[in-house]
Structure 1
Amino acid sequence: MKNIITIFLLVSIVSCGQEKRPVLGETEFQKELNAEYKDATTSPLKDKDRKAFKGLDFFKFDSTYMVTASFKRTPNEKVFKMKTTTDRKPEYVKYGELNFNLKGKDYTLNIYQNLGLIETEGYEDYLFLPFLDETNGLESYGGGRYIDARIPEGDTMIIDFNKAYNPYCAYNDKYSCPIVPRKNYLKTRVEAGVKAFEKH
């Protein structure tokens, strides 16, 4: 009887150990995102998807997708209501323009500030950089991707497309996500960041 109990305990310990899978990812950003999506308290995934979740699919890290952009502040922009995937229309303002060279070609992206979010502690200097590119609907999510940013101190900003992530709507239709403005369409393939998600 004692042996049976010992075996049972060992099996329990081994199976619990297997549950604690290491968080996957080749960069700190990838590991943090995977950990967030695996955790029931922070994950946007539906329960059935989260239970089967091993890790998001990323393009391979590529330093050519880390670019230094010139940042031009656009202080007199009008506040507008950004369209979302629901009836919600949060107030944003175009905060500035980013001009950069990617693989030999010049591009411009508008960067935005969410006027509701800047009232939240820790987000006073938060900026929102949504973009569309030619991988959308193929390797990446059809609705485009987002990059988080902070107000730069000078007139340049690093854009790291390896940190591009999907709107929560890519995983779960209960969320309301900003629709990427057409002006932020990049006529190129951005093979960096999070890929499209295969739902179960």
Structure 2
Amino acid sequence: MSESLLTLLDWRRRLNDLYAEVRRLRRGDPQAAHAHWQEVRNELFARHPQTPLTPEARAAFTALPVWPYDPAYAFCARVQTDLPTEQFVVQTSAGHDMPLTRVGRVALRNEHHDLGTLDAYWIAVYGGGLFVPFRDGGSGRSSYGGGRYLLDTVKSADLGNSPGGELLLDFNFAYHPSCYYDPQWSCPLAPPQNHLNAEVRAGERSAEQHA
């Protein structure tokens, strides 16, 4: 048990280091940041004791399937906070309750796309963290039906802010929760208000789909 917790600590430290480097690289070269993100995550999934892959999947693993980097799916969004604070209890993939507090809403609009809005949540458990999950028009086909994560500061998945204070929300770094790989994990699922109509062909995708 103690050894498992120490390897989990190492996993989290490595993710923290990864996203710190991604933020640094992304300021000058988003595509290089994306390539580094893929490289390190592939290494962690293949070799780390805390990989979410099952032993069978790990034996056959080569790389996580990811769409090529597309700058059209990168957004800067100011968090709209003049909304009523709402408490939610969402279901996890294992049927557990997860308390969330809505802290605002972000509009996903740039010169290429207008995808709509997503609510941003604070995970209302010890320590807390900002959390933006989503489902899109391809969920259940080109990606996991339970949705993907765009931002989850509990797991260090955070691209930071623009110089103007806007959240950097880049779908090229969207990823599947651990329960996508192994149902033993319990992951909060994207609530109905975080469903996008369009298919977002950026970030991590299902292995059955081809770019």
- The equivalent residue for 1:21 is none
- Structure 1 residues 41-56: aligned runs within 5 Å: 41-56=49-64
Question: What value does the CA root-mean-square deviation take over the aligned residues?
Answer: 2.4
Q: Deviations over 1:114-142 (max 9, x none)?
A: 1215x2xxxx6x31111111121222122
Following superposition, the deviation at residue 145 of structure 1 comes to 0.6
For 1:77 and 1:168, how far apart are their aligned partners in 2? 29
Segments of 5+ residues of structure 2 without an aligned counterpart are 1-32, 153-157
Equivalent pair of 2:115/2:198 in contact (CA under 8 Å): no
Following superposition, the deviation at residue 104 of structure 1 comes to 3.9
Following superposition, the deviation at residue 79 of structure 1 comes to 2.7
Superposition TM-score, scaled by structure 1 size? 0.75
- The equivalent residue for 2:180 is 170
Equivalent pair of 2:137/2:196 in contact (CA under 8 Å): yes
For 1:30 and 1:96, how far apart are their aligned partners in 2? 30
SS in 1 for 2:58: helix
Following superposition, the deviation at residue 76 of structure 1 comes to 4.8
Following superposition, the deviation at residue 26 of structure 1 comes to 6.0
Q: Deviations over 1:5-24 (max 9, x none)?
A: xxxxxxxxxxxxxxxxxxxx
Percent identical among aligned pairs is 29
Segments of 5+ residues of structure 1 without an aligned counterpart are 1-24
The answer to whether 1:108 aligns with 2:100 is no
Following superposition, the deviation at residue 75 of structure 1 comes to 7.1
Q: Which one of the candidate residues 128, 133, 156 is aligned to 1:130?
A: 133
Q: Which one of the candidate residues 134, 139, 143 is aligned to 1:140?
A: 143
For 2:203 and 2:75, how far apart are their aligned partners in 1? 14
- Structure 1 residues 11-160: aligned runs within 5 Å: 27-73=35-81, 76-102=84-110, 103-105=112-114, 107-117=116-126, 119=127, 126-149=129-152, 156-160=166-170
For 1:34 and 1:163, how far apart are their aligned partners in 2? 13
Superposition TM-score, scaled by structure 2 size? 0.71
